[in-house]
Amino acid sequence: MSESATLAESGAVKPSLWELIWTFNQIALASFGGGLSAWSREILVVEKQWMGEEEFLSASTMCRILPGANQINLAVFVGAKFGAIPGALAAVFGLTLIPVLIVLLLAVLYFQFHNVPSLQKILHGAAAAAVALTLAMVVKTGRKCLHGPVPTLLFLSTFILNGVLRWPLLLVLAIVAPLSLIWAWPRPKNK
Amino acid sequence: MKTWLQIIMLFGSLSLLSVGGGNSVLPEMHQRSVNEYHWLTDNQFADVFAISQAAPGPSILIVTLIGYKAAGVFGAFLATAAVIVPAGVLVYLVSRFWEHAARSPIRMAIEKGFAPLTVGLVLATAYVLGRSTDHDWRSYLLTAVCAAVFIFTKVNPLIVVAAAGLMGFLGWLG
């Protein structure tokens, strides 16, 4: 953990409600075409340094396991960390308000005029870049946590089971998560 | 009024059923909103799905579109709130527990052990997304070039995404 000591871990960071709203709004707006998870990391971990890499990754996995939309869950999680209930509300509000208005506008356009072809073309290009941003996140986070054969094996088996074979998330986690925990359980000897 | 209740009940229950993310309840959402309540047609459902995927923000906002079709602007906000609140409360409670467990072995094990697993899930996401959005060699090439830019340079990702959108707009991606 020492190498990833962040502003957040030193307790130096305490974003206000406005900062939470604004930051999550930024994450949401950046993610047109997709890649919301990669954008969350880009802004929360890299730019703002509100969370360490490991804290971010484990929080995202818990937010995947729990019911609900992953990124909204992450907003609740991060918002609550900094500002309890008002913080959670602010983060969710920031993440969803403008997108809801945009989606509403698109809904009106779509149901009145049916198709917006140039919009689809733009999104096609943006989506290709969003996939790239997600791939880049794999490389950047992988460099930090995939040291040695065990974590690499955990990483590969999760990818193959969930991505290539398309096994349901819960089944994959039921197999891989216990192995991960056994591997990562703190051992006094090593400390 | 009846429609409002149906919206609250449907999306509120889907909120708690959507283990693993919003996509896991799409089949149920389709079944109820198209076949049972007839709020929209099959084709419209496919189209609002595409819109929600590509629009900025969480893709669960497909419920905003369905709520709009079912009961106008108020329906849109109602559906959005209904899908967020139940799961949000649950996550809030878990996050409080997490904060209290700050130095416990279980939290340390989860933080360290789930990291490689999460990177695997993120790669799985990129793989699945890439297969559904990249249709021919041009979009694969664009994805590869963008990924190289993100990994090896410090260019603001937003500029790259906007440039890729522009290339799509100009018809360079077929």
Report the residue of chain A nearest B104, measured CA to CA.
Answer: A186
d(CA A168, CA A188): 35
Q: What percent of chain A has pLDDT over 70?
A: 90
Contacts of B75 in chain A (CB under 8 A): none
Do the Cβ atoms of B56 and A102 come within 8 Å?
yes
A105 close to B50: Cβ distance less than 8 angstroms: no
pLDDT tens by residue, B63-100: 999 999 999 999 999 999 999 999 999 999 999 988 88
Q: Does A170 touch chain B (CB under 8 A)?
A: yes
B106: Cβ contacts below 8 Å, ≥ 6 apart: none
* Closest to A72 measured CA to CA, from A96, A47, A100, A97: A96
pLDDT tens by residue, A131-162: 898 899 899 889 988 999 999 999 999 999 98
Residue B57 C-alpha, separation from nearest chain A C-alpha, in angstroms? 4
**Token digits of residue A24:** 């999550």
> Quick check: A79 pLDDT over 60?
yes
B133 close to A127: Cβ distance less than 8 angstroms: yes
pLDDT band per the 50, 70, 90 thresholds, residue A8? low
Residue B93 C-alpha, separation from nearest chain A C-alpha, in angstroms? 9
Q: Give contacts of A 103-162 with B, CB under 8 A.
A: 103-104, 106-108, 110-111, 118, 120-142, 144-146, 151-152, 154-159, 162
Contacts of A163 in chain B (CB under 8 A): 120, 123-125, 127-128
* Helix boundaries (H) for chain A: 17-30, 36-41, 53-65, 70-113, 117-145, 149-159, 169-184
Q: What is the reported pLDDT for A47?
A: 92
Q: Does B27 touch chain A (CB under 8 A)?
A: no
pLDDT tens by residue, A58-67: 888 888 888 8
B113: Cβ contacts below 8 Å, ≥ 6 apart: A154, A177, A180, A181, A182, A183, A184, A185
d(CA A92, CA A23): 11
> Quick check: A185 pLDDT over 80?
yes
> Quick check: A2 pLDDT over 50?
no
pLDDT tens by residue, B103-148: 888 888 888 888 898 899 889 888 877 887 777 889 899 999 999 9
Do the Cβ atoms of B57 and A124 come within 8 Å?
no
Q: What is the reported pLDDT for B48?
A: 83
Instruction: Please state at what angle helix A17-30 crosses helix B157-169, rounded to 10 degrees.
Output: 40
In a 3-state reduction of DSSP, which class is residue B134? coil
> Quick check: A3 pLDDT over 50?
no
> What φ, ψ does residue B19 adopt, rounded to 5°?
-70, 130
**0.90 cut: is pTM over it?**
no
Contacts of B130 in chain A (CB under 8 A): 131, 135
* Closest to A178 measured CA to CA, from B106, B123, B24: B106
Give the nearest partner residue to B117 out of A180, A182, A185, using CB atoms: A180
Do the Cβ atoms of A163 and B124 come within 8 Å?
yes
> Quick check: A115 pLDDT over 70?
no
Do the Cβ atoms of A30 and B157 come within 8 Å?
yes
Q: Does B12 touch chain A (CB under 8 A)?
A: no
Higher pLDDT, B75 or A12: B75
Report the 10 Å Cβ neighbour count for A186.
Answer: 15
